[in-house]
Structure 1
Amino acid sequence: MARYTGNVCRLCRREGYKLFLKGRRCESEKCAVDRRNVPPGMNIRARTRRLSDYGVHLREKQKVKRIYGVMERQFRRYFEMAERMKGNTGVNLLSILERRLDNVVDAAGMSLSRPHARQLINHGHFTVNGRKVDVPSYLVRPGDVVAPREREKSLQTVKDCLTLSGEKTVPSWFVLDGPAKKVQITNNPARSDIRFQDIQEQFIVELCSK
């Protein structure tokens, strides 16, 4: 599966928005958005202009793709899934993205960032219902149990991440058992469970429906 391998701080600056792709660095004074909240590149003033309606809609779509680390083809597939589901298409889309295994691992504090969660999953450190899953895009369902593999390296890695995360507030759609180092999925994510509450999902629906 294709993925972005460049400087992730440039992505935050391009969107003018904290995407939280660098873990704790994003919450420190070293955050690129806090230090220099302008798009990357030269001649910023010459390139700064008011976005058209299409540009605003496109930037919202790009922002969400970059938050969850998905490329265009996969994003389109998620959107088609959301359209087939009952209810609001935009909310369905965000719910699907939240259910990705790499997002669950990150939201639970078992990794330092979403890209780090993706790396840990790719290296086979996690299981779902006792079976190893090395696909970051795996979609969890109610009843699933996500946990590190029963081997010293995996357990220690997750323990270290949980320690660094501290008393992290986790979403209401899953239950984190810190001592046991496992996550129990109880529901599908609701709109109120999305960490980035200011996402304008309707812009994405309008753009992708054309």
Structure 2
Amino acid sequence: MSRYRGPRVKIIRRLGSLPGLTGKTPKPKSSYIDRSTSNKKISQYRIRLEEKQKLRFHYGLTERQLLKYVRIARKAKGSTGQVLLQLLEMRLDNTIFCLGMAPTIPGARQLVNHKHISINNNIVDIPSYNCEPGDIITIRNKEKSQSLITRNINSFQKLQIPNHLTFDSTQLQGSVNQTIQREWIDLKINELLVVEYYSRQV
């Protein structure tokens, strides 16, 4: 299954707020009726499926990519759900989004693909790159890169940068201080339901 490129408001109307996908909020519709839930008992499968979809759409992953992360998390020590969230949060595209350099994770992915981002003075064009404590994230020393990031920061500055990151707005430089903890992840999701959803596939 390919990465979702359709209307984003339609997704957040169904699944709730997903800041990584879009900062938009759906217009209230007094006449809107969710026919999929009215007069129907919601199955446990559907609940797990929707939690999985939240994770996939928020981080902008394909089904195959998410399944790969679940398999890696299962082999690691600790809670599979928490390890899964840590793996996704430490991706380069998500880290750039959390630093406020891009309005959404798809926007951050585009910055990486177009080689605007350097890590430890090396250009990285892989959005799934796993950031590690000690990594220094900078902007390429090009006028186009600098102006693009500055415009994003001024227009879409996040209210709060997660505790595992720091950002120097004068140098346009971010740093990864440590691996993110579960309580610092600002995403309303039950990761255990996602693990349960994939329990028969891994």
Q: Residues of 2 paired with 1:177 and 1:38: CA distance? A: 46
The answer for the alignment partner of 1:177 in structure 2 is 168
Structure 1 pair 169–131 and aligned structure 2 pair: CA distance change class (3 A): same
Structure 1 pair 186–44 and aligned structure 2 pair: CA distance change class (3 A): closer
1:71 has 2:70 as partner: no
Q: Residues of 1 paired with 2:130 and 2:192: CA distance? A: 23
Structure 1 pair 46–78 and aligned structure 2 pair: CA distance change class (3 A): closer
The answer for the alignment partner of 1:199 in structure 2 is 189
Return the offset for 1:209: 1.6
Structure 1 pair 22–167 and aligned structure 2 pair: CA distance change class (3 A): closer
Q: Deviations over 1:102-149 (max 9, x none)?
A: 111111110121111111111111111111111111111111111111
Q: Residues of 2 paired with 1:164 and 1:192: CA distance? A: 27
Q: Residues of 2 paired with 1:65 and 1:124: CA distance? A: 24
| TM-score, normalised with respect to structure 1 | 0.87
Q: Deviations over 1:16-61 (max 9, x none)?
A: x0112233xx2xxxx21x424999xxx8437633321111111101
The answer for the alignment partner of 1:149 in structure 2 is 140
Q: Deviations over 1:159-203 (max 9, x none)?
A: 11111234631001111111111111111111011111x311111
Equivalences for residues 45-60 of structure 1 within 5 A:
45=35, 48=38, 49-60=40-51
1:35 has 2:24 as partner: no
The answer for the alignment partner of 2:106 in structure 1 is 115
Paired residue secondary structure (1:45): coil
The answer for the alignment partner of 2:18 in structure 1 is 19
Identical-residue share of aligned pairs (%): 34
* Residue among 28, 45, 52 paired with 1:61: 52
Alignment check: 8 A CA contact 2:2 2:63 kept: no
Which structure would you say has the larger RCO, counting Cα contacts within 8 Å and 6 or more residues apart?
2
| TM-score, normalised with respect to structure 2 | 0.90
Alignment check: 8 A CA contact 1:22 1:113 kept: yes
> For residue 17 of structure 2, what is the amino acid of its counterpart?
K
Structure 1 pair 127–2 and aligned structure 2 pair: CA distance change class (3 A): farther
Name the Cα RMSD after superposition: 2.1
Higher helix share: 1
1:128 has 2:127 as partner: no
Q: Residues of 2 paired with 1:47 and 1:138: CA distance? A: 38
**What residue ranges of structure 2 are gaps of 5+ in the alignment?**
none
Return the offset for 1:205: 1.4
